[in-house]
Amino acid sequence: MATPSEPTRGTDAARRGRRGGTRPVRRAAAGRRTFTSTLKTLEALASSGAQVSVHVADLDGGSVVVAGDDFTSVPIAGLGVVPLLIELAARFESGALSPLEIVERSSLEPVTVSGVWRHLLAPALPLSDLAVLAASAGDALAANALLSRVGLPAVRARIDALGLTRSAVMDSFRDQRGPDDAPHVAVGSAREYAQLFAALVNAEAVSPAVSAQVSEWLSFGHDLSLVASATGLDPFGHDDDEHGLLFVNKTGRASGIRAEAGVLAGPRAGIAYALFVCFDDLSIAHRLRAHDAFRTLGTELMEFVF
């Protein structure tokens, strides 16, 4: 698949947002590349009973490279934080909220499913710091704090404004879900989340400033164990890679749920991707089989962009 020989909008926009400047990226023709191993792995996973949804598209033109059940709405766990971060950044830009507004941890219901804030001594943090925790460490308590301040109706309205018709944020994070609670934190389609990440990196989500802010928060992400395992990046510092690799992602994890969406760009091409897998988490072997599908996709994505 051919890609432009000029710097991409997506690569430049994300780098402007993080460093205030641009670095030209020279691209050769990507040529035709197949995702044979990925398709074989996903087919085997689906045959074993897992629900698989995947979408991979060229970052510049949007041409679809790989797609399978990408229109289906499935549970995506913490990946649903992304629309929340977009709404938060939009409110920062408009002045409706201050990044330095403090949220008291004691005002929130305890939740222990993931994150680090519950382990910290700081009893209160500003909204901007909570956004970093939610984006980088999948901090459930931080995400709940942001959601309590922004409000679930506003996040749903933002999702509608973004044109995401098959995605929704349904609830806050909880340790236990009762019969009166939503069954999942969030649902989404692989196609819509791949397109959402492309819009963020191409500075087209709400506004260039909002896109840059959310891309920056997400670029701090620590979870590089799925698709990103093929990148060789440092989980704790990869926002300015010396080899010119641009990578922004977010994962979602819950029992029987693994989801990841992001953007990967190198000297040859840029890709927006999303892979969602829902499976019976009956054993470590079942879980590792699901993880292997993400890592196979990551390897072939790296071959595509370099």
Helix axis angle, 208-219 relative to 81-94, nearest 10°? Answer: 130
Among candidates 302, 139, 149, which has minimal Cα distance to 220? 139
Q: What is the mean pLDDT of each run of 10 residues along the chain (306 residues)?
A: 36 41 34 82 96 96 94 97 98 98 96 94 98 97 98 98 97 94 97 98 97 97 96 87 90 97 95 97 95 97 94
Domain ranges of the chain: 9-94+185-305
Alpha-carbon torsion, ordered 11, 227, 205, 3, to 10 deg: 40
Q: What pLDDT score was predicted for residue 11?
A: 43
Q: What pLDDT score was predicted for residue 239?
A: 76
**Which distant-in-sequence residues (6+ apart) come within 8 Å of 239 by Cβ?**
18, 216, 219, 220
Question: Candidates 3.90.25.10, 2.50.20.10, 3.90.1300.10, 3.40.710.10; correct CATH number of 9-94+185-305?
Answer: 3.40.710.10
Q: What pLDDT score was predicted for residue 249?
A: 97
Among candidates 144, 13, 140, which has minimal Cα distance to 88? 144
- Look up residue 194 and give its two tokens: 């791949």
Count how many Cα atoms sit within 13 Å of the Cα of residue 221 in the half-sphere of its side chain. Answer: 29
Q: How far apart, in whole angstroms, are the C-alpha atoms of residue 283 and residue 265?
A: 35
Q: What pLDDT score was predicted for residue 240?
A: 75
Q: What pLDDT score was predicted for residue 22?
A: 31
Look-up: residue for tokens 């699901």? 290
